[in-house]
Amino acid sequence: MATSSSARRPIGIFDSGIGGLTVAHALAQQLPNEELIYFGDTAHMPYGERSADAIRYYSLRIVKFLLDKNCKMIVIACNSASTAAYQVLLDFFHEQALFVNVVDPLVERVAGEQFHKVGIIATKVTIRSGIYEQQLRSLQPDLRIHALATPLLAPMIEEGYIHNNLSQAVISQYLSDPGFGDIDALLLACTHYPLIRSDIEAFFSGSVRVFDSTDVVAQQVRNRLARYELLSDQRRHAHRFYVSDYTPSFAETTQLFYGEKIKLEHFPIW
C-alpha cells in the first residue's frame, strides 16, 4: 500500500529541555523514515520543580506550536509533562494528532514481568502525582512499590556530571534508601536517567532489572503509527530541534543526550 501524504507528516516531540533527546534518539534510530520536530522548553526547565498547572499551560502552548507544523503525532518525552498534562492535551487536541506519553509504555513493560517489588525514581512532580503507582497497581494489584523523588539527578546530569565520583556518591546516597533494599526492578522515570543507567546497574551489582522509557516509547510510537496506517516510508526533511531559550551550554550538552552532534535552533515562543 502506498504511504499517504498524512503519513509523511512529522512527529512532534517535546520535553522540558534537552533530556527528551534520549527519547528522540531512540525514535530516530528505530524509525529512520520518520521526520522529527523536537521542542525543548529550556526557558522553563526544570518542570520537575514546577506546579502541575504551570506544566499544563506550557505544554498546551508547545503542542499548539507542533500542530502548527503539521505533526501527525505528539510524543510527550518528559515524565513530568506526561504526568501533569497528558489528559488536558488529549482533551484539547485528540482530534488533530495521536498522542504518546512516556509513562504508559514503561508501566506496560514492567507490569508484564510480574516483579515482587519495584522501585521508582523521578522528579518531585512525577513522584507527587503517584501516577506510576496507580497504573502499576491497576495492572498488578499485589505489586509492592517504593517511589522516591531524586531531584539532584537531572541537574547533575545536565551539568555533565556522570560516571565520576560525585555522581556515584549522589546515586549511592539516593539508592541506599532502605525502601530499595529488596526491589527486583527499578524504573528510571525521568528523561535524563538513561545516561546514568550503567552506574545504577553497577550500584545494584546487576541484581536489579533497570528500565527506562527510551526503547519502549519508540516501540509504542511504531505500533500506534502502524495501527493508524501512518508509518512513513520516506523521510523528506532533516530532523529539527528547537529550544525556547538558547545558551551555548545547552548546545554543548545536546551531544550527551542525543549521542551525536545536532543543530539546536532558538525559537522563542514565550
Give the cell for residue 52: 502541575
Binding segment for ligand DGL (CB under 6 A), chosen from 185-193, 195-203, 225-233, 260-268, is 185-193
Q: In what order do the strands lie in the sheet with 144-149?
A: 144-149, 117-122, 185-188, 209-211
Answer yes or no whether residue 190 interacts with ligand DGL by CB under 6 A. Answer: yes
In the shown chain, the binding pattern of residues 17 to 36 toward ligand DGL, with x for contact by CB under 6 A and - for none, equals x-x-----------------
The Cα–Cα gap between 73 and 68 comes to 12
Query: Which residue bears the cell 529550556?
Result: 42
The Cα–Cα gap between 270 and 267 comes to 9
What is the footprint of ligand DGL within residues 137-156 (CB under 6 A)?
A: 154
Give the cell for residue 23: 527519547
Answer yes or no whether residue 120 interacts with ligand DGL by CB under 6 A. Answer: no
Answer yes or no whether residue 101 interacts with ligand DGL by CB under 6 A. Answer: no
Q: Choose, by CB under 6 A, the member of 9, 11, 13, 15 that binds ligand DGL.
A: 15
Shortest distance in whole angstroms from residue 245 CB to ligand DGL: 13
Answer yes or no whether residue 45 interacts with ligand DGL by CB under 6 A. Answer: yes
b/e map 141-165, b = 16+ CB within 10 Å: eebebbbebbbebbebbbeebbeee
Answer yes or no whether residue 47 interacts with ligand DGL by CB under 6 A. Answer: yes
The Cα–Cα gap between 151 and 77 comes to 18
Answer yes or no whether residue 203 interacts with ligand DGL by CB under 6 A. Answer: no
Query: Which residue bears the cell 501516577?
Result: 131
Q: Among this protein's residues, is 190 annotated catalytic?
A: yes
Shortest distance in whole angstroms from residue 77 CB to ligand DGL: 8
In the shown chain, the binding pattern of residues 54 to 83 toward ligand DGL, with x for contact by CB under 6 A and - for none, equals ------------------------xxx---
- 129 in Cβ contact with 48 (< 8 Å): no
Q: Which residues form the interface with ligand DGL (CB under 6 A)?
A: 15-17, 19, 45-48, 78-80, 123, 126, 154, 190-192
